[in-house]
Chains A and B, each alone.
Chain A
Amino acid sequence: MSASSPILESNSPTGPIADRWANHRFDLKLINPANRRKFSVLVVGTGLAGAAAAATLAEQGYSVKSLCIQDSPRRAHSIAAQGGINAAKNYPNDGDSIYRLFYDTVKGGDFRARESNVYRLAEISNQIIDQCAAQGVPFAREYGGLLANRSFGGAQVSRTFYARGQTGQQLLLGAYSALMRQVASGGVELLTRREMVDLVTVDGVAAGVIARNLVTGEFERHSADAVLLCTGGYGNVFYLSTNAQASNVAAAWKCHKKGAFFANPCFTQIHPTCIPVSGKHQSKLTLMSESLRNDGRVWVPKDNTDRRTPSEIPEDARDYYLERRYPSFGNLVPRDVASRAAKAECDKGRGVGDSNLSVYLDFGDAIRRDGAPLIAEKYGNLFQMYEMITGENPYKTPMRIYPAVHYTMGGLWVDYNLQSSVPGLFVLGEANFSDHGANRLGASALMQGLSDGYFVAPATITAHLASGKVQRLNTDHPAFAEAEAEATARSSKLLGVQGGRTVESLHQELGQIMWDNVGMARTAEGLKGAISSIRSLREEFWNEVRVPGEASHLNPSLERAGRVADFMEFGELMAVDALAREESCGGHFREEHQSADGEAARDDENFSHAAAWEHKGIEQPKELHKEKLTFDYVQPSTRSYK
Chain B
Amino acid sequence: MKLTLNIWRQAGPESEGQFETHALDGVSEDMSFLEMLDLLNQKLVMSGREAVAFDHDCREGICGMCSLVINGEAHGPVKGTTTCQLHMRSFSDGDQIVIEPFRAAAFPIIRDLVVDRSSFDSIIMAGGFISARTGSAPDGNAILVPKTDSDKAMDAAACIGCGGCVAACPNAAAMLFTAAKVTHLASLPQGQPERQSRVLSMVKEMDEQGFGNCTNERECEAACPKEISVATIAQMNRDYLKAAIFTD
Interface residues of A (CB under 8 A from B): 52, 55-56, 59, 70-77, 79-80, 89, 91, 127, 129-136, 138-147, 163-164, 166, 168-170, 173, 176-178, 180-181, 183-184, 190, 192, 215, 242, 244-246, 278-279, 281-284, 286-287, 385, 388-389, 391, 454-455, 458, 500, 502, 504-505, 546, 548-549, 553-557
Q: When chains A and B are docked, how far (Å) is the Cα of A180 from the Cα of B114? A: 23
In the bound complex, what is the Cα–Cα distance between A147 and B150 (angstroms)?
10
CB contacts (< 8 Å) of A166 on chain B: these are: 62, 158
Sample of 26 A–B contacts (CB below 8 Å): A59-B134, A71-B116, A72-B121, A130-B139, A131-B135, A133-B143, A134-B130, A138-B153, A138-B154, A141-B145, A141-B147, A141-B150, A146-B144, A170-B157, A173-B157, A278-B28, A278-B30, A282-B35, A283-B32, A283-B34, A388-B78, A391-B89, A505-B42, A546-B46, A549-B51, A555-B53
B50 at interface (Cβ–Cβ under 8 A)? yes
Listed from nearest, the 9 A-B pairs whose CB atoms lie closest are A145-B144, A177-B129, A134-B137, A134-B132, A184-B125, A138-B154, A130-B137, A138-B153, A133-B140
1/0 contact trace for B19-61 toward A, CB 8 Å? 0000000001111101100110110111011110101111111
Given contacts A140-B150, A177-B124, A548-B45, contact A281 B57 (CB under 8 A): no
Contacts A131-B137, A141-B146, A279-B30 supplied; 13 other A-B pairs, CB < 8 Å: A56-B135, A71-B65, A75-B64, A76-B63, A89-B140, A138-B154, A145-B144, A173-B157, A180-B129, A181-B129, A192-B121, A281-B30, A557-B50
A546: chain B residues at CB < 8 Å are 45-46
| A287 CA / B59 CA spacing, docked (Å) | 11
Q: Are B50 and A549 within 8 A (Cβ)?
A: yes
> Residues of B contacting A141 with CB < 8 Å?
145-147, 150
* Residue from A164, A178, A246, A389 in contact with B57 in the complex, judged by beta carbons closer than 8 Å: A246
**Does any Cβ of A come within 8 Å of B70's Cβ?**
no
Secondary structure class of chain B's binding surface, majority of residues = loop
B81→A554 contact, CB < 8 A: no
The one of A129, A136, A181 in contact with B184, judged by C-beta atoms closer than 8 angstroms, is A136
Q: B218 an interface residue at 8 Å Cβ cutoff?
A: no
Q: Is B85 an interface residue (CB 8 A)?
A: yes
- The 8 Å CB contact of A244, one of B59, B134, B136, B140, is B59
* B154 lies within 8 A of A91 (CB): no
Q: Does B161 contact A (CB under 8 A)?
A: yes
User: Which chain A residues border B110 with CB–CB below 8 Å?
Assistant: 215, 554
Q: Which residue from chain B places its CB closest to the CB of A388 in the assembled complex?
A: B85
- Which residue of chain A is the closest to B64 with respect to CB atoms? A75
Closest chain B residue to A75 by CB distance? B63
| Chain A residue contacts of B135, Cβ below 8 A | 56, 127, 131, 454-455
How many whole Å from A467's CB to the nearest CB in chain B? 23
A180 close to B125 (CB less than 8 A): yes
Tell me whether B157 and A138 are in contact (CB under 8 A): yes
In the complex, which of the residues A79, A131, A244, A284 contacts B132, with contact meaning CB atoms closer than 8 Å?
A131
User: B196 CB to closest chain A CB, in angstroms?
Assistant: 16
Q: Which residue of B lies closest to A245 (CB)?
A: B57
Contact A59 B133, beta carbon cutoff 8 Å: yes
Report the bound CA distance from A549 to B111 in whole Å: 13
The CA of A59 and the CA of B133, in the complex, are separated in Å by: 7
Asked if B131 lies at the interface with its beta carbon under 8 angstroms from chain A, I say yes
The CA-CA distance from A521 to B191 in the complex, in Å, is 50
Chain B residues near A91: list those with CB within 8 A: 141
Are A554 and B114 interface neighbours, CB within 8 A?
Answer: yes
Contact B124 A180 (CB under 8 A): yes
Asked if B188 is at the interface of the complex by the 8 Å CB criterion, the answer is yes
- Residue on A with the closest CB to B157? A138
Roughly how many angstroms separate A373 CA and B166 CA in the complex, as a whole number?
A: 35
Shortest Cβ distance from B56 into chain A, in angstroms?
6
B125 touches A181 (CB 8 A): yes
Nearest chain B CB to A157's CB is how many angstroms away?
A: 17
B58 touches which of A79, A140, A281 (Cβ 8 Å) = A79
A136-B185, A244-B63 known; A75-B87 Cβ under 8 A: no
